A and B are shown apart, each in its own frame.
Chain A
Amino acid sequence: MIEFKNVSKVYDNGSVALDDVCLTINDGEFVLICGHSGAGKSTLFKLLTHEVVPDTGTVIVDDFDVTRMKRSKIPKLRRKLGVVFQDFRLLPNKTVSENIAFALEVIEEKPKVIKEKVSHVLELVGLTDKANDLPEDLSGGEQQRVAIARAIVNRPSVLIADEPTGNLDPDTSKGIVDLFKHINNFGTTVIMVTHNMDLVSYLNKRVIRLKDGRVQSDNMRGAEINEA
Chain B
Amino acid sequence: MKPRTLKYFFKEALKSMKRNGLMTLASISTVALSLFMLGVFLCGVINLNNMASSLENQVQLSIYLKDGLTTDQIMAVGKQIKAIPNLKKLEFVNKEQAMKEFKARLGDQQQLVNALGDVNPLPNSYVLTFDNPSDVKATAKLATTFQGVESTHYGQDIVEELFRITQVIRIGGIVLIAFLAAATLFIISNTIRLTVFARRKEIAIMKYVGATNGFIRWPFLIEGMLLGLVGAIIAVLCVGEFYHFITMEVSESLAFFPLVPMFPFFYDVAIYILVGGIIVGAIGSTISLKQYMKV
List residues of A whose CB falls within 8 A of some B CB: 49, 71-72, 74-79, 83, 89, 91, 102-103, 105-108, 111, 150, 154
Contacts and interface: CB of A to CB of B under 8 A. Distances in A.
Given A77-B210, A107-B209, A108-B2, A91 B201 contact: yes
Contacts of A71: 213, 295
Contacts of A105: 8
B8 to A, nearest CB: 7
**B interface secondary structure, majority:** helix
**Of residues B5, B208, B215, which shows the largest number of chain A Cβ atoms within 10 Å of its Cβ?**
B208
A106 B208 contact: no
B210 A108 contact: no
A78 B210 contact: yes
A78 B209 contact: yes
Contact of B210 (A79, A89, A111): A79
Interface in B154-206: 201-202, 204-206
Interface residues of B, number: 19
Contacts of B210: 74-79, 107, 154
Contacts of A83: 208
B208 A49 contact: yes
A49 to B, nearest CB: 7
Contacts of A49: 208
Given A76-B210, A106-B211, A107-B211, A89 B5 contact: no
Contacts of B5: 108
B111 interface: no
Contacts of A150: 205, 209
A48 to B, nearest CB: 11
A91 B199 CA distance: 10
Which A-B residue pairs are the 10 nearest by beta carbons?
A79-B210, A78-B210, A106-B211, A103-B209, A75-B210, A75-B212, A106-B206, A83-B208, A107-B210, A108-B5
Contact of A91 (B205, B215, B216): B205
Interface string B207-251: 111111101100000000000000000000000000000000000
B18 to A, nearest CB: 13
Contact of A102 (B4, B205, B212, B295): B205
A78 to B, nearest CB: 4
Interface in B1-38: 2, 4-5, 8
Contacts of A75: 210-213
Nearest to B202: A91
Interface in B84-139: none
B201 A108 contact: no
A66 to B, nearest CB: 14
Contacts of A106: 206, 209, 211, 215-216
Contacts of A103: 205, 209
B171 to A, nearest CB: 43
A76 B213 CA distance: 11
10 contacts: A49-B208, A71-B213, A72-B212, A74-B210, A76-B210, A83-B208, A89-B204, A107-B209, A108-B215, A154-B209
A45 B246 CA distance: 67
Nearest to B2: A108
B3 to A, nearest CB: 12
Contacts of B211: 75, 106-107
Nearest to B215: A106
A123 B201 CA distance: 26
B209 A79 contact: yes
Contacts of A72: 212-213
Contacts of B208: 49, 78, 83
A83 B204 CA distance: 12
B213 to A, nearest CB: 8
A153 B2 CA distance: 22
